Structure formats: C-alpha cells, structure tokens
Amino acid sequence: MNLDYSDGDKELKSELRRFLQKACPPTRVRKVLDGDSREPRRLTSELAEMGWLAAAMPERFGGQELSYVALCGIAEELGRALAPTSYGSSVFLTAEALLLAGSEVQQRTYLPALASGQKIGTFALVEGRGPIRPEHVSCTWRGGKLTGEKLAVADGLDADVAIVSAQSNSNVQLFLVDLDVPAVTRASQKSVDPTRLVAKLTFRDAPAEPLGNGADWSVLQRVLDRAAVLFAFEQLGGADMALEMARDYALSRYAFGRPIGSFQAIKHKLADVYIANELARSNAYYAAWALAKNAPELPLAAATARVAACEAFERAARENMQVHGGVSATWAHDCHLYYRRARHLGSCIGTVNQWRDQAARLLIAQCAA
C-alpha cells in the first residue's frame, strides 16, 4: 500500500505553494493580525479565481472533482502559509456537509456558490465550554425558525450561510441558515489567533431549513470525521514550517562562537519535533487513504490523525519559540503566529481530548468485538 502523494498531487502542491508564496507572505497574514478584517475574504476570492476552492467538488457543481488526497495536499500547503482564509469553513465543513447530507436542491443552490467563492460557509456548533455533544445544544428550531446563540464561529463575520446544530422535537439536527437577514446578528469575539476571525451569532426567529431530510447527530459526526483528516493536514503543514524556521535559525544564530544548532540541547529539541511531525504524517496519510476510500476505518483513523496532528503542531510551534528565544514572543516576530494558529486549529472542531476519547472508545469497541 503506497500512502504517499501521486506525482500529480505533488505537482498540485508545488503549484499552490508557489501561488501562496506570492499571494500570502507573512506580511499579508500580519494585515489581519493588525486589524484588517477584509483580507480573509479577499484571499478566499483569489483562491477561488485560481480554482482552488473548487478543486475537490463534483464537476456538476462547478468543481474539478479531484481526489480527497489532492484536497489533503491543498490543506497542507494552506497550513504552511498560515493562510488567513475561510477555506476550511467553506470547503472542509460546509461543502462536505452538503455533499454528504444535503438535498439535491440545496446542493445545486450552495455548492456552485461555495466553489466560486461567491458565498462563504461556516459551521456553528459551540454554545459554551465543554466538548461538542448533543446535550450541550440549546438552540431550538420550531416552525422553520431558529432561536439561540452560537459562540466562536470560525469566519462567522464573513460567512453568508451557516450550518447550525439545534434542538428539534427532542432531537439535535443540522439546519441551513442564511446569515444575511435581520434575524441574525453577529458580534466579533476575541481569539487566541487574531488572524482567524471568530464571531458570536445570535438567531432570533431566523428562517432556517433542515439539512437534507433532517440530518441528525450521526451525520454531524461523519462530517467532523472527514474534516478532522483535512484539518490534520493543515496542522501538519504548519508543524513542518515551524520546524523549518527553528532549524534555519539554529544554523544561523551563533553563541560562544558556534551555531546554536550544534548544541546538544537544541539538537534534541529539533529531533523530538521531527519525530512528532513524522508520527503525525503517517497517521494523516493513513487517514487520507481511509477518507478517499470511505473505508470503515475512517472514524478511528480520523481521530488518531487529529490527535497526532494537534500534538505535533503545538509542540513544533512551542519549540520553535524556544529555539528563537526571547525575540519569538515579540509582536514583530513571526514565531508566535504559528503558536496562535496551532492553538486555534487544536480546538476548531473539538478539543484534542474529545478526539482522544473517540479513539479510545473505538479501540475498546474493536477489542470487544
């Protein structure tokens, strides 16, 4: 079994890397950090113009119908560049939910718009502290109207449509909501990563329609499993770039007449990061295979990849700051950008502990079978 990228996928990754080096240098990421809230939508539009948003969507909806493995490669390159874009919210979550459970009318309405960048989608699940579970949902849907609040909605300020979890007839289901209506209000929220804008969404009898034939919590879990694989690749790209930054600095920074990379303590740090990255890579590649084949192993593979990627990116970003020393904590240096993104991605679809619990439950079930 060869789990590596094909030659075509490698060329696709290289092309996107060249594009992002020009279109999304660190200076552009910093524009968002410094308060320019228009940049994420601009970058998303540029990605759409080049066809990157439509890469893995079906041709009948304006996509190129590339493989999920290709989409994983795109996610990895976006992670390397710390791209401040709504790609994950629109493609990894909203488009996947529509493809998995949306009706034909919903797919025809929203998928071409998401592929072209005309609309941005997002997922609204969180209402407070704690894991993403049905018992933590208090939003309600009655008579076609949605009422309640959702917190820390990624790209919630830019999104045009949201998929929202809500209680309906004592059952949690998913609903499609147009955010550009008076019944929906948005408020910016502070985040550990200011380059990824999050918002509180308040629904006051907002018009909403069920996703498909009434997608329930089991559908949401399937969407999150798929997204976990894609976000794992985004985290892997960030972890690799953080390691490269630390390595390059260790080779160029001199102390006591020699590069600090020659000191054993620095070597051990970088070796530990490399091992964690490679472990995450092996888990992510296996999960990509399971996603592409829609294999029964996907839930466990996704949880394992998610846990390994969260830990690898957080370690790589932290040790990158340690290798750089005090300058890494200054606003002007780029090190903290990777640490901020690691913390953001580590909680965007549930915490690492939630995914660790899922992996444990599935392993116990396998052993008991």
Min mean pLDDT across 165-174, 269-278, 315-324 is at 165-174
Residue 131 has pLDDT above 90, yes or no: no
Q: What is the pLDDT of residues 233-257, one digit of tens each?
A: 999 999 999 999 999 999 999 999 9
Say if strands 140-142 and 121-124 run parallel, antiparallel, or are unpaired.
unpaired
Q: Among 90, 65, 74, 81, which Cα is nearest to 16's?
A: 74
Helix axes 68-80, 7-23, angle to 10 degrees: 30
Residue 1 has pLDDT above 80, yes or no: no
Contact status, residue 10 vs residue 74, Cβ threshold 8 Å = no
Say if strands 140-142 and 145-154 run parallel, antiparallel, or are unpaired.
antiparallel
Q: What is the pLDDT of residues 34-87, one digit of tens each?
A: 989 899 999 999 999 999 999 999 999 999 999 999 999 999 999 999 999 999
If phi > 0 it is left, if psi is from -120 to 50 it is alpha, else beta; for residue 152 that is left
The DSSP output letter for 89 is: I
Whole-number pLDDT of residue 262: 93
Q: What is the pLDDT of residues 223-236, one digit of tens each?
A: 999 999 999 999 99
C-alpha dihedral, 144 to 150 to 152 to 156, nearest 10°: 30
- Collapsed DSSP state (helix, strand, coil) of residue 104: helix
Whole-number pLDDT of residue 5: 87
Whole-number pLDDT of residue 76: 98
E strand or H helix at 53, and its extent?
none
* Cα Dmax for the chain: 74
Average pLDDT over all residues of the chain: 95
Distance, in Å, from the CA atom of 108 to the CA atom of 67, rounded to the nearest integer, reads: 20
Percent pLDDT > 90 in the chain is: 91
Question: Residue 284: which pLDDT band, with cuts at 50, 70 and 90?
Answer: very high
Within 10 Å of residue 128's Cβ, how many Cβ atoms? 9
